[in-house]
Amino acid sequence: MNAVVSEACQRYLDDFRQHQDTLPGAHLPWLADLREQAWQRFLSAGFPNLREEDWRYTSVAPIEQGGFTLAPAATAAVDATRIEALALPDAHLLVFVDGRHAPALSRRTALPTGVGISSLAEMLARQPEAIQAPLERVARMKQDDSVFVALNAACMVDGTCIQLAAGARLEAPIQLLFLASTAGLSRHSRNLVLAGADSSATVVEHHAALDAPQHFTTVVTDIVLGRSAKLEHHKLQQESRQGLHIAAIRAELAGDSHFASSSFALGGAMARADIHVALNGAGAGCTLDGLYLGDGRQHLDHHIRVDHRLPQGSSRALYKGVLGRTSRAVFDGKVIVHPGAQQTDASQINRNLLLTEKAEIDTKPRLEIWADDVKCSHGATVGPLDAEQVFYLRSRGLDDASARALLTHAFAAEMVQRVGLASLRERLDGLLHAWAAAAEEAAR
């Protein structure tokens, strides 16, 4: 560890010391050891700065200077009608308020044989031995993980543990609803999805804010798929425009399994998502979709990494961004085809629409190929709306703002229509219409 620990890092450590006895699993020696190791890694590295390649476009100064504190053990009171407005129909619902599970607001109906859904705190209280090995394995930092993964491992307050036995099929989606309700708090959530061979499920990870509190969120979702397993993971981030959000999704895939991810970023003053997929088995595949909508002074950052480690793997990544006013986005994508991963089929595309001259995107799709029998492609586009298309719509009677809003919606709607879950697709379409209408009003 460095001899000098920054004042900001020390503040976070001191806050943890004050709350550590209230954190789930505080009585478990192995978990206490895991937390301490994570602190050592975090304090050694410190907060990233703009001189580091992975963070050269994204400043974390608001997190360093924010003075956020861990949420208390008791959750804030939340009106159940506000939960219903955010809940998806017919979904198994787990609600977390300021990082803590709220059973009274959650909804879990009968589950099929072989499916378990619990909060992380519940598992650590009732069956810690059932998740000790997988949690210890995935909680430790991996190559290219950010230091915020270490901070999350040190401070994880609660989260979800989803277990699918071999052959288990869950038809109804699982919605994990994380709510920020109190200003000045930091929330650190850990989600664990363990899917056995030939199992399948759909998970919706939804982050929202009640009112507009300033808050800081880290969330790490670890996914392990057995052979021929299938998982759809949809993430919707619509936190407060004062919120700071750092997320990581890490998926490990066995042979012939498939992971489908969609990420929708609408909220946050600064929000970053690191998505790392390791195709560890022959024939494994992943589909990574994303849409980010920036306005005002928002900063939205996506870092994608796909590791093809064995033959006949496939990956498809398509991310789109729409940026208005002085917003800024970052897309950094990397596909690595390792030696021996022959017959890999990989595609990576990033498309961006800039609505103003002051909006900005830094995009960097990359391929690193160490095999010779592959089919790989990548590309990026950045530009304004097509002036001829705007003119055509205006010639048909639309005013300038309405024409631009219609074209903007059409550009982004492709990503919404790719979502297989109908109830989520309908919700996203409504959010997209509202965003486009607000952008149209701002342009008038």
- Inter-residue contact 300 to 267 (CB < 8 Å): no
Q: Considering only CA atoms, which of 288, 406, 399, 307 is closest in space to residue 348? A: 288
Coil, strand or helix at 332: strand
Residues in contact with 351: Cβ distance below 8 Å, sequence separation at least 6, in sequence order: 318, 319, 320, 321, 380, 381, 411
Stretch 217-224: mean pLDDT:
96
Name the average pLDDT for the chain.
94
Token pair listed for 273: 């998502």
Distance CA(193)–CA(114), nearest Å, equals 13
- Inter-residue contact 224 to 199 (CB < 8 Å): no
Question: Given pLDDT bands bounded at 50, 70 and 90, which one contains residue 443?
Answer: low
Could you read off the pLDDT of 263-297 as tens digits, one per residue?
999 999 999 999 999 999 999 999 999 999 999 99
- Inter-residue contact 237 to 247 (CB < 8 Å): yes
pLDDT value at position 144?
Answer: 67
Q: What whole-number percentage of the chain has pLDDT above 70?
A: 97
Coil, strand or helix at 307: strand
Residues in contact with 341: Cβ distance below 8 Å, sequence separation at least 6, in sequence order: 279, 308, 309, 310, 311, 313, 370, 371, 374
Could you read off the pLDDT of 145-191 as tens digits, one per residue?
789 999 999 999 999 999 999 999 999 999 999 999 999 999 999 99
How buried is 402 (Cβ within 10 angstroms: 0-12 exposed, 13-18 middle, 19+ buried)?
middle
Could you read off the pLDDT of 140-153 as tens digits, one per residue?
766 567 899 999 99
Predicted TM-score (pTM) of the model is: 0.95
Distance CA(162)–CA(176), nearest Å, equals 11
Q: Considering only CA atoms, which of 270, 198, 258 is closest in space to residue 232? A: 258
Q: What whole-number percentage of the chain has pLDDT above 90?
A: 87
Could you read off the pLDDT of 230-269 as tens digits, one per residue?
999 999 999 999 999 999 999 999 999 999 999 999 999 9
